[in-house]
Amino acid sequence: MSIHGKTPAYKLASRERHPEPTVVRVGKQAVGGGANTVIAGPCSVENREQIIQVAQQLKQYGATMLRGGAFKPRSSPYSFQGLGEEGLKYLAQARERTGLPIVSEVMDIEHLPMACDYIDVIQIGARNMQNYPLLRAVGRLKKPVLLKRGLSATIEEWLMSAEYILSEGNPNVILCERGIRTFETATRNTLDLNAVPVVKDLSHLPIIVDPSHGVGIARYVPAMSLAALAAGADGLILEVHPDPERAMSDGQQSLTPAEFNLLMQRIEKLTAPIAPEVAARSV
C-alpha cells in the first residue's frame, strides 16, 4: 500500500486511511465499487443535432454517461476552442432526452459556477493536473470531479493532486488514466494500465481509463478497453463520433457508434464472468 515502503505524502487519498473503496455517486449511478462505468461521446460538442443524436445512440448501446468538450484545451490558439456555454447547453439538452449524466472539462475557475449549472461531473484535463488554484476551486464544490493524470505525472503526484481536491472537502474524485508521454511514436501516448492495480493498491478512489487518448488510434481502442477492464479499472471514457473523419478534433481516435456498439458487446462478454471477482479485488 505504499511505493517502495515510503510513507506517502497524501493522506485522504490513501487506502491505508480508508480501506473501503470509495463509490462516487453521479445521480442514480455509482462509479467504483464494482460498477462498470462507460462514459462516451465526441471530443468536442460541435452542434446541437450532433450531440443529441450521438447521445441517443450511446444510451441505446449501453453508455452510462455522456462526454463532450465545450471548452477545449488546444495546443494552438488558432485551433477550434469549443462552443463554450452554448456547448454546455446542448449537452444538457442531450441529458434531458437520454437521462445520461454529463461529463465535461472546465479549465477556468471563473467558468466553474456557470458550468456547474449544466454538468454532472467536472473534468480536470491532463494539462491542468497540477493547476492548484483550479484543484482547490473544485475541491470547494460537491460535484464529482474526474481528474485526469498529467502527461508526465507520476502516480504519486497524481494522488497528490487528488489530495488537493479532497483536502478542500470534496470527496468525490474519480481518477482517469489517459496515457503518459514516452519515446514510443507508434501510439499517440502510452496508455499506462499498470496505473490501475497500483492506484487500487495505494488509494480507495475509483479509477477509469481513457484508451482513446491513451493510444490515440481508433482501431487499437477496443483491445485497450478490454485490457483496462481486465486490469481492474472501474470503467472507461471513450471518444465516439458519428463521422470521425469530419470531427473538429481528435477524429483519428474516435470510434463510430457502430464500433462502440460492437465494443460494448465484447465488454459484456468479457466482464460478465469476471465481474464478481473484479468487484472484490483490491489490486
Residues 224 to 243 in contact with a copy of itself, rule: CB under 8 A: 224, 226-232
Min dist. Cβ of residue 195 to a copy of itself (A): 8
Cell of 220: 487499437
Asked if 91 contacts 59 with a C-beta cutoff of 8 angstroms, the reply is no
Q: Which of 3, 23, 30, 141 binds a copy of itself (CB under 8 A)?
A: 3
SS3 content of the chain, % helix, strand, coil (to 5): 40, 15, 40
263 binds a copy of itself, rule: CB under 8 A: no
Binding pattern for the stretch 50-79 against a copy of itself, x by CB under 8 A and - elsewhere: -----------------------xxxxxx-
Separation CA 97–CA 107 (nearest Å) = 27
Separation CA 157–CA 126 (nearest Å) = 12
7 binds a copy of itself, rule: CB under 8 A: no
Terminal alpha carbon distance of the chain:
10
Q: From residue 116, how far is each of 41, 130, 189, 208, 242 by CA, in Å?
A: 19, 21, 30, 22, 27
Kindly tell me which of 57 and 131 has the beta carbon lying closer to a copy of itself: 131
Kindly tell me which of 45 and 209 has the beta carbon lying closer to a copy of itself: 209
Helix intervals (H) in the chain: 48-61, 85-98, 112-116, 132-139, 155-167, 195-202, 211-215, 221-230, 257-280
Min dist. Cβ of residue 96 to a copy of itself (A): 29
Min dist. Cβ of residue 52 to a copy of itself (A): 28
Kindly tell me which of 201 and 243 has the beta carbon lying closer to a copy of itself: 201
Kindly tell me which of 101 and 139 has the beta carbon lying closer to a copy of itself: 139
In this chain, which stretch among 60-68, 84-92, 235-243, 264-272 interacts with a copy of itself, using CB under 8 A?
264-272
> Which residues partner with 67 through β-bridges?
103
In this structure, the dihedral spanned by the alpha carbons of residues 56, 115, 238 and 266, taken in order and rounded to 10 degrees, is -50
Q: Which of residues 135-194 bind a copy of itself (CB under 8 A)?
A: 136, 151-152, 154-157, 160-161, 163-164, 167, 180-187, 190-194
Separation CA 66–CA 39 (nearest Å) = 6
In this chain, which stretch among 4-12, 14-22, 92-100, 242-250 interacts with a copy of itself, using CB under 8 A?
4-12
Min dist. Cβ of residue 46 to a copy of itself (A): 20
**Tally of residues, the chain:** 283
Residues touching a copy of itself: how many (CB under 8 A)? 75
Cell of 25: 455517486
In this chain, which stretch among 14-22, 46-54, 55-63, 108-116 interacts with a copy of itself, using CB under 8 A?
108-116
Q: Which of residues 113-132 bind a copy of itself (CB under 8 A)?
A: 127-128, 130-132
Q: Which of 245, 246, 277, 280 binds a copy of itself (CB under 8 A)?
A: 277
